[in-house]
Amino acid sequence: MTLKSSFPPVVDARTRLLVLGSLPGEVSLARAQYYAHPRNHFWSLMEAVTGRALVGAPYEERLARLLAAGVGLWDVIGQARRTGSLDARIRDPSANALREFVETLPSLRAIGFNGQKSSDIGRRQLGAAAAVELITLPSSSPANAAVPLARKQQAWMTLRRFLDPA
């Protein structure tokens, strides 16, 4: 099993909503980009949530548009061993220091966990006394094909109330 590492966080002082994944998949790691798998619904979901054009935009522009909307990205796992991309194959995870990190975000109002694995690990770290709203979302991963895109989008749209208008 290969040791995999998360990317640095994408946040700034405007971050009102932090979306946390588990650990980047193989395609994302190869491209050094969050949610790079072409069948991952993340960018289309966030386009609907933010009202900003994300799908098809260059990667750096997508990140800038998320930040402008008040959205930050990171992962709950800093490093882990995993063969392939599935969360079920994660072994020996080392968590990112979420509690300390969240304290550095003065405008943060909510954390959206992209999938159950992210939620399980993130909620354990943040504890019941989290000062922001914690929201578990259906995973945007292509491995989560059992949940139709329309149902994913309905759940993800609940994040809209935490963002700055487009």
Check if the beta carbon of residue 111 is closer than 8 Å to that of residue 9.
no
Using one digit for the tens of pLDDT, what is the confidence trace for 2-11?
899 999 999 9
Instruction: Exactly one of 40, 96, 114, 144 is catalytic; name it.
Output: 40
Q: pLDDT by residue (tens digit) across 119-139?
A: 999 999 998 767 899 999 999
- Catalytic annotation present for 144: no
The residue type at 111: I
- For residues 90 and 92, what is the distance between their CA atoms, to the nearest angstrom? 7
Tokens read off for 90? 């994660």
Q: How far apart are CA 117 and CA 75, in angstroms?
A: 11
Look up residue 77 and give its amino acid. I
0.75 exceeded by pTM: yes
Average pLDDT score, the chain: 92
Domains held by the chain: number: 1
Task: State which residues form the domain around 158.
Answer: 2-162
- Strand 110-114 to strand 17-21: parallel, antiparallel, or no bridges (unpaired)? parallel
Task: Give the model confidence (pLDDT) of 53-91 as tens digits.
Answer: 999 999 999 999 999 999 999 999 999 988 888 777 788
Neighbouring C-beta atoms of residue 80, cutoff 10 Å: 22
Under a CB-based contact definition with an 8 Å cutoff, are residues 87 and 140 in contact? no
CATH number of domain containing 122: 3.40.470.10
